[in-house]
Copies of this chain bind each other. A is one copy, B any other.
Amino acid sequence: MVQLSFGARVRKSPFFDSTIKHGVTHFSVYNRMYMATSYGDPKAEYQRLTEGVSLWDVSCERQVEISGPDAAALTQYLCPRDLSTCKIGQGYYVPMCDHDGRIINDPVLLKLAADRFWLSLADSDILLWARAVCAERGFDATVCEPDVSPLAVQGPKAEDVVADVCGDWVRDLKYFWFRETEIDGIPVVVARSGWSKQGGFELYLTDGSRGNELWEIMWKAGEPYGIGPGTPNSTERVESALLSFGTDNDGDANPLELGLGRFVDLDSEADFIGKTALQKIAANGGPARLMTGLLLDGDEPMKSVEHKCPVTQNGRDVGFISTSTYSPRLERNIGIALLETDVVKGADSVVVHTPERDHRGEITSLPF
């Protein structure tokens, strides 16, 4: 059993004390912030998320804010999706790429105003990158990390909890849309979003000094619905085939390989970073690899692999598996892999080499 060491290089979330109080047992580090990853009862946490309601500290989803006269132009240049159709109050999922078309983050973009945007980030330093592009290209915009920390309320009963706190208007929020409001005087942006397919909201706290207050309000409101603590859930996200940036890709993967082509507008008028590189890949027969599901053998529930493990077909290396889990919904072991396109399209099965033993993996389309 390995402990996590604490120090000032890695940041604590505004909800940190609440996670400790409610019995967090495991952390990881995400965007140089401690991220709660378990409260010690994976079965209960999965059940709460899929049948009830669950409260997650996801403040490690740091925001990059882009504002100023050229904010819209810079944001479009950074994002491969056509943003001309994005309305104020709306969010877009945007797999961001570097100049060679490699994915470097997959945030939700929130359009707060015509000249103000947030990128709600996965785990990489987009702040540095966006500032470099802004300065080198001479955009008149400010790029910063504002005091914004999301708290997620997830699960089929999340809407009831958030409606009890904020009002019934939240029931009419469409997916990825949001509104700025206050909860007992605490400033938040309420969005219908979250890293699960069970429905729910993210409350973007914009005053980091009030995290534990907000947590307590949501906790109390959730008690009639059986709320409990939770975290981004590896089992549910594999079942739902949500990309885990940094887990499912390696440093060279592009959005076409990861099944995100529908979020990349190669035919739009907009110029964006990576466009030429991705057009070339699309024109030259498409991506060399594809993300795929695997149905894994074994009667015993499988624990998740701790690192990317090699996958072979007929003894030949054809890619890697990034996550494995026992699926309560499918009642079997499943996983996500990034494999050569020919194998995904042509083969029935592959061999997955984990430290414990080899598994047969049947190739299946995503989501499961």
The answer to whether B132 touches A7, judged by C-beta atoms less than 8 angstroms apart, is no
Asked if A38 CB lies within 8 Å of chain B CBs, one says yes
Q: Which residues does chain B contribute within 8 Å of A123, judged by CB atoms?
A: 9, 32
Asked if A316 CB lies within 8 Å of chain B CBs, one says no
The answer to whether B12 touches A26, judged by C-beta atoms less than 8 angstroms apart, is no
Determine which of B7, B244, B306, B307 lies in contact with A323 in the assembled complex, contact meaning CB atoms within 8 Å: B7
The answer to whether B2 touches A98, judged by C-beta atoms less than 8 angstroms apart, is no
Type the 1/0 row for A14-41, where 1 means its CB is closer than 8 Å to any CB of B. Answer: 0000000000111111101000011000
Q: Which residues does chain B contribute within 8 Å of A186, judged by CB atoms?
A: none
The answer to whether A145 touches B251, judged by C-beta atoms less than 8 angstroms apart, is yes
Asked if A308 CB lies within 8 Å of chain B CBs, one says yes
Bound CA–CA A11/B244 (angstroms): 14
Q: Which residues does chain B contribute within 8 Å of A305, judged by CB atoms?
A: 8
Type the 1/0 row for A238-274, where 1 means its CB is closer than 8 Å to any CB of B. Answer: 0000001111000100000000000000000000010
Complex copy number for this chain:
2
The answer to whether B26 touches A5, judged by C-beta atoms less than 8 angstroms apart, is yes
Looking at the assembled complex, report how far the CB atom of A23 sits from the nearest CB atom of chain B, in whole angstroms. Answer: 10
Contact residues of A between 331 and 353, Cβ < 8 Å to B: none
The answer to whether B129 touches A98, judged by C-beta atoms less than 8 angstroms apart, is no
Asked if A135 CB lies within 8 Å of chain B CBs, one says yes
The answer to whether B4 touches A3, judged by C-beta atoms less than 8 angstroms apart, is yes
Say whether, besides A3-B25, A247-B7, A128 and B129 are in contact (CB < 8 Å). yes
Q: Which residues does chain B contribute within 8 Å of A8, judged by CB atoms?
A: 247, 305-308, 322-323
Contact residues of A between 131 and 171, Cβ < 8 Å to B: 131-133, 135-137, 145
Type the 1/0 row for A84-99, where 1 means its CB is closer than 8 Å to any CB of B. Answer: 0000000000000011
Asked if A327 CB lies within 8 Å of chain B CBs, one says no
Type the 1/0 row for A66-84, where 1 means its CB is closer than 8 Å to any CB of B. Answer: 0000000000000000000
Looking at A8, A29, A124, A247, which has the most chain B CB atoms within 10 Å of its CB? A8
The answer to whether A128 touches B128, judged by C-beta atoms less than 8 angstroms apart, is yes
Q: Which residues does chain B contribute within 8 Å of A246, judged by CB atoms?
A: 9-10, 32
Q: Which residues does chain B contribute within 8 Å of A125, judged by CB atoms?
A: 124-125, 128-129
Say whether, besides A98-B131, A128-B128, A38 and B247 are in contact (CB < 8 Å). no
Other than the given A99-B131, A125-B129, A129-B132, 16 more pairs (CB < 8 A) read A2-B3, A2-B24, A3-B4, A3-B26, A4-B26, A7-B28, A7-B234, A7-B247, A8-B306, A9-B244, A10-B28, A99-B135, A124-B128, A125-B125, A129-B129, A132-B136
State the A residues within 8 Å of B (CB).
1-12, 24-30, 32, 37-38, 98-100, 104, 123-126, 128-129, 131-133, 135-137, 145, 234, 244-247, 251, 273, 304-308, 322-323
